[in-house]
Amino acid sequence: MSAAEDLRRQRAVDGLGLSEPGAHPRLDRITRLACLALDVPMSAVTVLDRGRARFPSAHGFDPVSVPEGETFCRTTIDESDVDGPLEVTDATRDDRFQDLAVVRDGVRSYVGVPLRDHTGTPVATFCVFDRRPRELTRDQREALEDLAAWAERELVASTEMQQASRVQASLLPSRPIRVGEWDVDGLCLPAMAVGGDFYDYEVIGGVLHVSLGDVMGKGTGAALIGAATRTALRGTAQAVSAGVDLGITITQVARSMLDDLERAESFVTLIDLAVDLETGTVRFVDAGSGLLLLVRADGTPVRLSGRGRPLGVLPDDWWEQVEVTLEPGDRLILFSDGVLDLLPDPEAWHEAVGSWVADAPDIPTLLTNAARHVTDVAALDDITMVAIFRQTPALLS
């Protein structure tokens, strides 16, 4: 492999995040199956990273980073343009490998297959080792290549999804809001590595602007639409803080995204609201969600909803702003429909969620308890919620 090719391979390794440590249970399953299927004692996925060999997965030995020159896998990568795996039936009789430390320690045979990214660049190897000289049968070789193809899909897909998950998480608010008598915080727990739910909040000019959306679908496609919707809503922040009717701003956002949503055959349910932090006046638009709950200071739950359809359903849709007031001691929660999966009776969600909100001494406790529900119930959808608490003056003194 030339220096230019090696540089391209290193960039691919960096781009996939393969240098970063972390557990890879799906790869572990494949390396374990390789040992069973091929009757070999050791199997590994190996990444060559800046002169070192690292092991995202290994079975049958303790993976320790070693210089890449001390591996069979360097040759597997160098000869990756050759059809078929690299097979070494007896390393002690092969001038290329007989002086390797692993050979001196007892490894005699090796078979390795390069694993490639979506551009065809070799980024890792899938390999098996034995302490006795041996040659794979045709059936065993086919099984190895099938397992390597599986490992390649898992390695590339899982690392790309991990990166997408980190990027999506970075788009969420980085910290809760504490302003005078107001507390705001949220959580988003995707059902997959990434999801179509999103939430956002910020304070501009004494106005709290909060958005929570749920894109039809799951995975990367929904996450991309969610990120685009969040960006479009962020673009309305100055108008919202200036008091522009939310029905107008949401209609503008919906019209700007209509073509994209139609091509993606998707839509977005959304709650967008603004809170005047001085008066407690809440203005909101409900675009097909219906999952907005006001819990009064005495614990009484009040369902709030508008009459708008989701974004992306009809080209001439428009949305209407609704107003309500949060008094001291009142609490407001908005959430995605994945929360309904956590409830024994989704039809009576306002009672159950109202109890959660009323019983929680603060927002961190509320969100922690919600996350615990997720671990107890196998949620089928993303779980997202934002809570807004207005404290009473007595609690602030």
Find, among 269, 284, 268, the residue nearest to 208 by Cα.
284
pLDDT at 241 over 60: yes
Please give the residue that has the higher pLDDT: either 261 or 164.
261
pLDDT at 86 over 90: yes
pLDDT at 237 over 80: yes
- Helix pair 349-359, 363-376: axis angle to 10 deg: 130
> CA-CA distance, 8 to 45, in Å (whole number)?
20
Q: Where are the domains of the chain?
A: 3-166, 175-390
Please give the residue that has the higher pLDDT: either 63 or 104.
104
Q: How far is CA 153 from the centre of its chain?
A: 18
pLDDT at 298 over 60: yes
R_g of the chain, CA atoms, integer Å: 28
**Percent with pLDDT over 70 in the chain:** 90
Q: Classify domain 175-390 at the CATH superfamily level.
A: PPM-type phosphatase domain (3.60.40.10)
- Helix pair 138-170, 219-234: axis angle to 10 deg: 20
Question: 19-33, 100-114, 230-244: which has the minimum mean pLDDT?
Answer: 19-33
The pLDDT of residue 297:
96
Confidence of residue 338 (pLDDT cuts 50, 70, 90): confident
pLDDT at 31 over 90: yes
Confidence of residue 24 (pLDDT cuts 50, 70, 90): confident
Confidence of residue 14 (pLDDT cuts 50, 70, 90): confident
pLDDT at 230 over 90: yes
φ, ψ for residue 58, nearest 5 deg: -155, 145
The pLDDT of residue 274:
98
The pLDDT of residue 190:
76
Residue 291 and residue 270 in contact, taking contact as beta carbons nearer than 8 Å: no
Beta strand pairing call for 207-215 and 322-325: unpaired
Residue 146 and residue 354 in contact, taking contact as beta carbons nearer than 8 Å: no
> CA-CA distance, 35 to 279, in Å (whole number)?
68
Q: What is the mean pLDDT of residues 172-185?
A: 93
Q: What is the mean pLDDT of residues 275-289?
A: 97
Find, among 351, 333, 344, the residue nearest to 373 by Cα.
344
Confidence of residue 26 (pLDDT cuts 50, 70, 90): confident
Question: 4-18, 290-304, 329-343, 358-372: which has the minimum mean pLDDT?
Answer: 4-18
Architecture of the domain defined by 3-166: 2-Layer Sandwich (3.30)
> CA-CA distance, 33 to 302, in Å (whole number)?
55
Alpha helices per DSSP H over 171-277: 219-234, 237-241, 246-264
Token duo for residue 355: 């109890």
Question: Can you give the pTM of this predicted structure?
Answer: 0.65
Confidence of residue 349 (pLDDT cuts 50, 70, 90): very high
**Percent with pLDDT over 90 in the chain:** 66
